[in-house]
Structure 1
Amino acid sequence: DYIFDIAKTIKGIEKFDIFNGACKDEKDGGDKEKHIDDLIANCKSQLGDDYKKIFDLAIDSILTDIKIDLAEFGVEYQQWFSEQSLVDSGLSKKTVEVLQASGHIVEKEGALWFKTTDFGDDLDRVVVRDNGMHTYFASDIAYHLEKFERGYDKVINIWGADHHGYIARVKASIKALNHNPDKLEILLVQFANLFRNGEKVAMSTRSGSFVTLKQLREEVGNDAARFFYILRKADQHMDFDLDLAKSKTNENPVFYIQYAHARICSVFDKADNNTQTPDLTLLNNEYEQALIKQLSRYSDMVKNAALNYEPHILAYYLRDLAGDFHSYYNNSEFLIDDKTLQASRLQLISATQQILANGLSLLGVSAPEKM
């Protein structure tokens, strides 16, 4: 539908047939890549100078929507990189020429092939098709070369798990260009399945049936959407339970953690101005000891999550911390006559409140004071 929305904004262009003379698509027994190339060629031929105007309008419309969606989700990139810029700057062409000169690219059947088998890949890969069009792989080689030439000593790529076979060829290109392929780290992310009322939500990009991030946020909220994504390790399949994400029960992990923070805020709202000096040696029952030990693990959890690129470690830690606090809360009193013990317990839950707020903040999730 969004394609039709963009089309409606274009004025002064008469109808034309871009399918005339084009190769059949893959689903019709043809060649997918050639089908797309033919459609683009027809567009350029029939639109002339207007092709670039429509191309830029479509790109700007879609990218603007993506940027707004991400910003509202708490994700803002410092730089957006255009694949077209590699073509316009000539870097993609230059990179192919460099690899050709070093003997890593050969001509075969009218196309240019990168000999990635020399670097452990299972097949050689096309970088320039027989019609002169550069492949995505050629752009990826130039993109990574540009990164390393800007002086980065580590590059982290986040790819869908279906691109696993791409790793060897990209690393091969980096090595062929005399850079260290070990400086490129690739994190593979599995697909997310949405479930509503216990049934999987059917999605297909080809048929145009899908749930957008914006729709997901509007249904379950930013906090639940972010936390549920973070809760699963990146390379594991994720079943996103929409009903659970919207529930206000202890089974909902983000609600469970936020409720712990709100409970502590509620205690302090009711507490008097106790100026007694805490005596932490009084915090010796099993619930207090468990909570203290859990708090002491926080810095290690953050470090491990960061070094291993695994924020789910922190998410699970916060859920465990919330569990220890709820147990303490249900088995203890805080506003008591013994002012020294009260001050000690309040200091303990104040530390818990701080860690919960810090951890949620790192994950981009709010820490509400009332629920």
Structure 2
Amino acid sequence: MNLYAEMRAHVIDALEEMTRAGDLPEGLDFGNVAVEPPRDAAHGDMATNAAMVLAKPAGRKPREIAEALAPRLSALDMVDGASVAGPGFLNLDLAPGTWSTLVGRVPQDAEYGRVDLGRGRRVNVEYVSANPTGPLHVGHTRGAVFGDALANLLAFTGWDVTREYYINDGGAQVDTLARSAYLRYLQAHGREVDFVDGTYPGDYLIAVGEALKDRVGDAWLDRGEEVWLDEARSFATDAMMDLIRSDLAALGIEMDRFFSEKSLYGTGRIEEAIATLDARGLIYRGTLEPPKGKTPEDWEPREQVLFRSTDHGDDVDRPVRKSDGSWTYFAPDIAYHWDKIDRGFDALIDVFGADHGGYVKRMKAAVSALSDGKVPLDVKLCQLVKLSKDGTPVTMSKRGGTFVALRDVVDEVGADVTRFVMLTRKNDAPLEFDFAKAVEQTKDNPVFYVQYAHARCRSVLRKAEAAGIASGTAEITDAAEIEVARRLAEFPRIVEIAARNHEPHRIAFYLYDLAGSFHALWNKGNDAPGLRFWQESDPRATSAKIVLPQAVSVVISAGLSILGVTPAEEMR
């Protein structure tokens, strides 16, 4: 049941009746007609913009259209009244029975809130994709949670989702990893070492060094890189990916596919992707203008192989092969996205860190060029996370060496809290993660507030079950009960908006608002016994009352599942 969709269908039916009656001209497009909550709840339960969006194409005043539409909607059984406001807004009051019907249906509808936007189409969501040089840090945590929640949201709305991790194992950073592991190997043999030239000093490589000692003994001691670099690189990369998989599992994240950048080299995939662009007239040899901020003395113009990305919305054309004949960093990324397109995905989503902002336009241009504009790419940037405890910045982690590791955050507050807090801001807004606030039991902590609402629902339902009282027919009459019902009605609408805009944080915001309305009703029952869900010595009244917490429990559980958070059965 989707109350807003039902009402919109009624509005469209009424507009079509007005067209047949000659109140509206033929051929109007009703696509932008919407039904939404009014900006001010005092104005009614719902509002439609029909008169406002149709006035100009119909050649009528908005108010004239609204006044003709109002009596048609007022005649509906689910509507108590329709009133015209301002220049032509149409506000609707729903009949009390409508709210009772909605609340009664929610627990019976296993699909409540789902909207089939995807219609089975395939979408690839690539997220995390951290360099395999160590454990995930707190910045990766936000991207991991956001990407996973977005994947859940898309699956909830009818998309066939593939969750993918791109292993950046083809660049110089994995050579640095191999050298760092070698230093730990030397330490395992009792040698003194210095971590220089950008090598990674984190303790997480100690075990790798010990494992290398067990594997090769003293065969690499006092030997040059030509002896050990390749094997050390492969061994250390595998060890880091095992560590990363473990970190993701601690957050409840399981990828469908891990794709190795290295697999693109020597297989013809990069050449194939560039040849595809070349066949479309988008590859040429040329010299770029100096980057902004470079003086002529700093700039040495070199002829390179360039991708004509400006033909697909980029600011400048981008090099794909350097003057020495080697590929740029951009070339394998083009090949990787060509591989995604070749696998038949209907849409692509990349979740990047904030430092990848300059990469967005060129990547979108490449996907547009490779797919002839048929496969959309949405790039989501996740801003930084500031960690604190009671307002004091958190110090760096010895485990990470120079960063706070994902596992440190999860160990401190748990996976559910970590995930919810990471979704309490839009992905492109900075986020402050205060460990103390994340675990406090107050209204100001959204995780606790939502979980407490669900636990309260479950406590009522357990009590009813123990007494042998089943839910009956909902009776929603009080203003506080209606407010909770209004929130429940919004769930499918919020899910649709969040999915269309790739914004899972909207679900977290919605759950907080729903919890607030439920807690307000609960507290009102402390002073008005007739509003309590458990009615002593009146099983029939209890049977009617418990339908509301049952519906709230269903919706909170569904919303938390999208966020990847386990609903609390009770609070300890």
Instruction: Please give the TM-score of this superposition, normalised by the length of structure 2.
Output: 0.55
* DSSP-derived class of the 1:185 partner: strand
Q: Tell me what 2:209 maps to.
A: 7
Q: 1:159·1:187 contact (CA, 8 Å) conserved in 2?
A: yes
Q: Tell me what 2:404 maps to.
A: 211
* DSSP-derived class of the 1:236 partner: coil
Q: 1:301·1:313 contact (CA, 8 Å) conserved in 2?
A: yes
Query: Quick one: which of 243, 246, 258 aligns to 2:451?
Result: 258
Q: Which structure 2 residues correspond to residues 1-371 of structure 1 after superposition, within 5 A?
A: 1=202, 2-11=204-213, 12-15=219-222, 46-48=224-226, 50-99=228-277, 102=281, 104-106=283-285, 109=302, 111-177=304-370, 179-180=372-373, 183-201=376-394, 208-271=401-464, 272-274=467-469, 278-281=472-475, 283-332=476-525, 333-336=532-535, 337-371=537-571
**Matched AA of 2:220:** I
Whole-Å separation in 1 of the counterparts to 2:250 and 2:397: 25
- Higher RCO (CA 8 Å, separation ≥ 6 residues): 2
What is the CA deviation profile of residues 185-217 of structure 1, one whole-angstrom value per residue up to 9, with x for unaligned ones? 211221111122202336699x94211111100
Higher mean Cα deviation, 109-118 or 160-169? 109-118
Aligned-residue offset at 1:73: 0.9
Q: 2:368·2:375 contact (CA, 8 Å) conserved in 1?
A: no
* DSSP-derived class of the 2:327 partner: coil
Aligned-residue offset at 1:289: 1.2
Two-structure CA RMSD over aligned residues (Å): 2.6
* DSSP-derived class of the 1:270 partner: helix
Aligned-residue offset at 1:182: 5.8
- Structure 1, unmatched stretches of 5+, are 17-45
- Structure number with bigger Rg: 2
Between Structure 1 and Structure 2, the one with more helix by share is 1
- Structure 2, unmatched stretches of 5+, are 1-201, 214-218, 288-301, 526-531
Whole-Å separation in 1 of the counterparts to 2:208 and 2:284: 40
Q: 2:367·2:375 contact (CA, 8 Å) conserved in 1?
A: no
CA distance 1:190–1:340, shift in 2 (3 Å): same
Aligned-residue offset at 1:265: 2.1
What is the CA deviation profile of residues 268-314 of structure 1, one whole-angstrom value per residue up to 9, with x for unaligned ones? 33332236x84534x31121111111111122222222222111111
CA distance 1:116–1:167, shift in 2 (3 Å): same
Whole-Å separation in 1 of the counterparts to 2:496 and 2:312: 35
**Matched AA of 2:226:** G
**Matched AA of 2:307:** F
Could you list the structure 1 runs, at least 4 aligned residues long, displaced by more than 4 angstroms after superposition.
Answer: 97-101, 117-120, 202-205
**What is the percent sequence identity of the aligned residues?**
37
CA distance 1:357–1:172, shift in 2 (3 Å): closer
Q: Tell me what 1:28 maps to.
A: none
What is the CA deviation profile of residues 336-361 of structure 1, one whole-angstrom value per residue up to 9, with x for unaligned ones? 23433221111111111221222212
Aligned-residue offset at 1:83: 0.5
CA distance 1:124–1:204, shift in 2 (3 Å): farther
CA distance 1:115–1:203, shift in 2 (3 Å): farther
Q: 2:286·2:306 contact (CA, 8 Å) conserved in 1?
A: yes
